């Protein structure tokens, strides 16, 4: 009897803790959603209400119609840059990750460390040489420049993730394929790659998201409004005009929802990929 | 969490085959790696070397040159380093102190909150999947969006926090215009942002601990607190150390939150080394000084990681990376 009572109290405690934590986790997003549906008069007031009193779509309409649809231009820029970065990263990373996973060769350790080391590079150390090189080559204000800069993080990230996934594919499959007369390239191309489609998709997704969210390089290299990516474009609502929180919120919500949806499908794969290297089973 | 340890190719037989075969195998491996390695050299290591070399010059926006103008910056030896470390006007030491406070507070709170949540989520409770999903939201939302949202909540006149404070009769707080409060504000934002990653990774670590260990301990009469200290913590250690190291590196280099929430202000009081290096480059246009900051940051992180892994290896014989 006493034990049961104790358990009940414990369960209430656990749920209270989790509910409070969940509220904190989700609140800034809910607040953005609420802000995005409020008319201006409910934004610049000290008489705040949690939910909009006069619900309106005007902020969304304003953002979508701004300057002949520049919001769509920003979205397009972000997609072009993020997608190219992802394709480039995967293209270069896949075979390398496979080699790191399957072969033991002199220099492997050093090379893997050099990939890991890029995690520690402060953007500030690369951004200046990039700025200088791009200036000489005329790559400032161009997609190409930004894509190259993003590849510096995307490529090692893809190699690292894919290596962890390849490690989980049983080696026997490849041995069987070799017995059947497939060469190493054929084994990779016909056996390993098809098996890895899900992990390639997950890696692609996260490398896409990283580029999609990047701010510092985009802010520095793209100085013309029609070349902004989404983060830099949204920032113009926050800083340059009078701070238009309601418009910023509407724009932010529109680009956050798709990311959120995909994220929840993909997140469990990311964690195992990122941490497998450091933990022992 | 049960993947094989790094650097041991899974299931590969110890190669005792002929030397020829071994060479042939390796040749293929190098061929597979070549494209990525070339890309890394061109995209990462060459610019890195350039960046390091700039730290020994007086490069700024006027003498850097362009497509049409020859660069005219000069090598100045260690001048930038000397200026940064010894000049009375240099902001290095205050910014360094702020960076340490920022990193230490953030990672400790990430770890403590993340671990508590992971421990709770590791139990059989109703609604676990839903809690887990909601708790991941801060990680899923693009960090610049979160930064804008928090900045909006910190607004002095119309922000949510000051309204809540007014409700309970507390004076409004100058969140972003007072050095101390601005520090609190950026740390609050970043703690919120970083907990989910720590939580999921630690949860993964907890789930890989075999349940039989706890059963055996229970049979032997160990209390839950004993189980936590004798089973959970020691077995969680490798994961915990790796994720903490990652957390320290990421937090040390976190640009978005500082730059977008407080802009490093007021009066550079919330500036950390990376954001300040950026300001030196693209507001003061001192590329020489900025890259010197970059080199200093990189040296700090590399030496820290080396020491950290050594200590870890000595203490447990485990390997990080």
- Chain A residues with CB under 8 Å of B294 CB are 122, 124-126, 128
Q: What is the domain extent for residue B147?
A: 81-316
User: What are the phi and psi torsion angles at A195 (to 5°)?
Assistant: -65, -25
Q: How far does the CA of residue A68 sit from the closest CA of chain B (Å)?
A: 23
Number of domains in chain A: 2
Q: Quick one: tokens of A209?
A: 């998201």
Based on the domain organization, do A25 and A130 belong to the same domain? no
Based on the domain organization, do A103 and A191 belong to the same domain? yes
- Euclidean distance between CA atoms A155 and A162, whole angstroms: 11
Q: How far does the CA of residue B101 sit from the closest CA of chain A (Å)?
A: 18
CB A223 within 8 A of CB A35: no
How far is CA B284 from each of CA A26, A171, B279, rounded to the nearest angstrom?
38, 55, 6
A 198-227 residues with CB below 8 A of B? 209, 212-213, 215-216, 220
Output the pLDDT for position A274: 58
pLDDT digits (tens, 9 = 90+) for A216-226: 999 999 988 89
Residue A194, Ramachandran bin (φ over 0: left; ψ between -120 and 50: alpha; else beta):
alpha
Q: What angle do CA A179, A183, A187 make, to 5 degrees?
A: 85
Would residue A242 count as lying in a domain? yes
Output the pLDDT for position A244: 83
Would residue B192 count as lying in a domain? yes
Sequence-distant (6+) residues with CB within 8 A of A243 are A237
Based on the domain organization, do A30 and A75 belong to the same domain? no
Three-state secondary structure string covering chain A: CHHHHHHHHHHHHHHHHHHHHHHHHHHHHHHHHHHHCCCHHHCCCCCCCCCCCCCCCHHHHHHHHCCCCHHHHHHHHHHHHHHHHHHHHHHHHHHHHHHHHHCCCCCHHHHHHHHHHHHHCCHHHHHHHHHHHHHHHCCCCCHHHHHHHHHHHHHHHHHHHHHHHHHCCCHHHHHHHHHCCCCHHHHHHHHHHHHCHHHHHHHHHHHHHHHHHCCHHHHHHCCCHHHCCHHHHHHHHHHCCCCCHHHHHHHHHHHHHHHHHHHHHHHHHHHHHHHHHHCCC
Q: Quick one: tokens of A231?
A: 């983060």
Q: What is the domain extent for residue A88?
A: 63-278
Based on the domain organization, do A151 and A229 belong to the same domain? yes
Based on the domain organization, do A17 and A78 belong to the same domain? no
CB B167 within 8 A of CB A238: no
Would residue B5 count as lying in a domain? no
Percentage helix, strand, coil for chain A under 3-state DSSP, each rounded to 5: 80, 0, 20
Q: How much is the CA Rg of chain A, to the nearest whole Å?
A: 24
Complex prediction ipTM: 0.84
Output the pLDDT for position B221: 85
Based on the domain organization, do A128 and A230 belong to the same domain? yes
Based on the domain organization, do A90 and A163 belong to the same domain? yes
Based on the domain organization, do A7 and A86 belong to the same domain? no
Output the pLDDT for position A85: 93
**A255 at interface of B, judged by CB pairs closer than 8 A:** yes
Q: Quick one: tokens of B27?
A: 């040749």
Q: Do A123 and B6 touch (CB under 8 A)?
A: no
Q: Quick one: tokens of A103?
A: 């072969």
Q: Which of B2, B201, B294 sits opposite A271 (nearest CB)?
A: B201
Would residue B296 count as lying in a domain? yes
Helix or strand run (H / E) with residue B164: helix B160-167
The CATH number that applies at residue A250 is 1.10.3720.10
Q: Quick one: tokens of B60?
A: 């700024």
Based on the domain organization, do A146 and A263 belong to the same domain? yes
| b/e burial code for range B95-129 (CB count within 10 A of at least 16 → b) | bbebbeebbebbbebbbebbbebbbbbbeeeeeee
**A258 at interface of B, judged by CB pairs closer than 8 A:** no
Would residue A46 count as lying in a domain? no
Would residue A13 count as lying in a domain? yes
Number of domains in chain B: 1
pLDDT digits (tens, 9 = 90+) for A237-246: 776 556 788 8
Would residue A48 count as lying in a domain? no
Would residue A181 count as lying in a domain? yes
Q: Which of B48, B153, B157 sits opposite A125 (nearest CB)?
A: B48
**pTM: predicted TM-score of the whole model, two decimal places:** 0.84
Q: How far does the CA of residue B256 sit from the closest CA of chain A (Å)?
A: 7
pLDDT digits (tens, 9 = 90+) for A83-130: 999 999 998 999 899 888 888 887 788 888 888 788 777 777 899 999
Q: Which of A120, A170, A272 sits opposite B305 (nearest CB)?
A: A120
Of A14, A50, A122, which to mutate for an interface test with B (greatest number of B Cβ within 10 Å)? A122
Please tell me the number of Cα atoms within 13 Å of A126 on its side-chain side. Answer: 24
Other Cβ atoms closer than 10 A to B89:
5
Would residue A51 count as lying in a domain? no
Sequence-distant (6+) residues with CB within 8 A of A94 are A158, A162, A193, A200
**A3 at interface of B, judged by CB pairs closer than 8 A:** no
Q: Quick one: tokens of B114?
A: 């993340």
Per-residue pLDDT 10s for chain B (321 aa) are 334 444 444 444 554 556 566 666 678 888 888 888 899 899 889 999 999 999 999 888 888 777 777 787 888 889 899 999 998 888 999 999 999 999 999 999 999 999 999 999 988 888 888 898 899 899 889 888 999 999 989 988 888 899 999 889 888 899 988 999 999 999 999 999 999 989 988 988 888 888 888 888 888 888 888 888 888 888 888 888 888 988 999 899 999 899 989 988 788 899 999 999 999 999 999 999 999 999 999 999 999 988 988 887 777 654 444
Based on the domain organization, do A184 and A228 belong to the same domain? yes
pLDDT digits (tens, 9 = 90+) for A41-92: 888 877 788 888 888 898 898 888 888 888 999 999 999 999 999 999 998 9
**A271 at interface of B, judged by CB pairs closer than 8 A:** yes
Based on the domain organization, do A211 and A138 belong to the same domain? yes
CB B29 within 8 A of CB A95: no
Q: Do B136 and A264 touch (CB under 8 A)?
A: yes
The CATH number that applies at residue B198 is 1.10.3720.10
Q: Quick one: tokens of A237?
A: 């609502």
Would residue A41 count as lying in a domain? no
Q: Please determine, for residue A1, whether its predicted confidence score (pLDDT) is greater than 60.
A: no
Q: Do A267 and B243 touch (CB under 8 A)?
A: no
**If you count residue pairs, one on A and one on B, with CB atoms under 8 Å apart, how many are there?**
329
Beta bridge partners of B57: B75
Output the pLDDT for position A144: 92
Based on the domain organization, do A213 and A152 belong to the same domain? yes
Q: Please determine, for residue A207, whether its predicted confidence score (pLDDT) is greater than 90.
A: no
């Amino acid at each position: 009897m006493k034990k049961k009572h104790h358990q009940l109290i414990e369960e209430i405690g656990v749920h209270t803790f989790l509910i409070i934590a969940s509220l904190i986790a989700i609140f800034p997003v809910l607040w953005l959603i609420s802000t995005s549906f409020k008319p201006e008069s409910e934004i610049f007031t000290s008489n705040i209400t949690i939910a909009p009193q006069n619900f309106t779509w005007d902020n969304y309409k304003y953002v979508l119609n701004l300057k002949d649809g520049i919001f769509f231009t920003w979205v397009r820029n972000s997609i072009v840059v993020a997608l190219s970065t992802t394709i480039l990263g995967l293209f270069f990373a896949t075979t390398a990750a496979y080699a790191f996973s399957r072969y033991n060769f002199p220099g492997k350790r050093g090379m893997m460390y050099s990939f890991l080391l890029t995690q520690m590079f402060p953007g500030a150390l690369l951004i200046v040489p990039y700025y200088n090189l791009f200036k000489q080559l005329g790559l400032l204000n161009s997609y190409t420049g930004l894509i190259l800069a993003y590849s510096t993080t995307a490529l090692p990230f893809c190699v690292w993730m894919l290596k962890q996934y390849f490690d989980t594919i049983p080696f026997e499959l490849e041995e069987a394929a070799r017995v059947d007369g497939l060469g190493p390239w054929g084994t990779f191309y016909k056996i390993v790659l098809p098996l890895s489609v899900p992990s390639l998709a997950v890696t692609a997704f996260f490398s896409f998201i990283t580029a999609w969210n990047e701010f510092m390089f985009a802010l520095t290299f793209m100085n013309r409004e029609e070349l902004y990516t989404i983060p830099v474009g949204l920032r113009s609502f926050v800083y340059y005009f009078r701070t238009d929180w309601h418009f910023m919120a509407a724009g932010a919500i529109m680009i956050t929802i798709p990311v959120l949806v995909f994220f929840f499908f993909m997140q469990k794969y990311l964690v195992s990929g990122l941490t497998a290297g450091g933990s022992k089973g | 969490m049960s993947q094989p340890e790094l650097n041991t190719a899974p299931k590969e037989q110890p190669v005792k085959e002929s030397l020829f075969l071994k060479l042939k195998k390796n040749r293929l491996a190098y061929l597979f790696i070549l494209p990525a390695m070339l890309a890394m050299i061109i995209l990462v290591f060459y610019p890195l070397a350039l960046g390091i070399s700039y730290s020994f010059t007086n490069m700024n926006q006027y003498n850097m040159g362009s497509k049409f103008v020859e660069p005219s910056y000069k090598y100045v030896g260690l001048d930038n380093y000397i200026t940064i470390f010894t000049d009375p006007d240099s902001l290095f030491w205050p910014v360094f102190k702020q960076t340490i406070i920022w990193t230490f507070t953030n990672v400790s709170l990430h770890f403590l909150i993340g671990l508590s949540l992971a421990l709770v989520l590791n139990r059989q409770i109703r609604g676990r999947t839903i809690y887990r999903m909601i708790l991941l939201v801060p990680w899923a939302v693009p960090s610049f969006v979160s930064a804008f949202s928090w900045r909006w909540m910190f607004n002095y006149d119309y922000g949510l926090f000051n309204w809540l404070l007014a409700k309970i009769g507390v004076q409004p707080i100058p969140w972003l215009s007072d050095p101390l409060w601005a520090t609190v504000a950026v740390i609050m934002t970043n703690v919120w942002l970083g907990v989910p990653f720590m939580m999921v990774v630690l949860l993964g670590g907890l789930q890989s601990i075999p349940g039989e260990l706890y059963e055996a301990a229970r049979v032997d009469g160990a209390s839950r607190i004993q189980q936590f200290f004798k089973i959970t913590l020691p077995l969680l250690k490798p994961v915990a150390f790796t994720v903490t190291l990652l957390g320290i590196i990421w937090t040390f280099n976190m640009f978005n939150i500082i730059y977008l929430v407080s802009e490093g202000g007021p009066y550079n009081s919330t500036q950390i080394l990376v954001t300040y290096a950026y300001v030196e480059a693209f507001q003061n246009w001192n590329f020489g000084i900025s890259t010197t900051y970059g080199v200093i940051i990189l040296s700090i992180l590399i030496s820290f990681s080396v020491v950290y892994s050594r200590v870890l290896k000595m203490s447990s014989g485990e390997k990080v990376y």
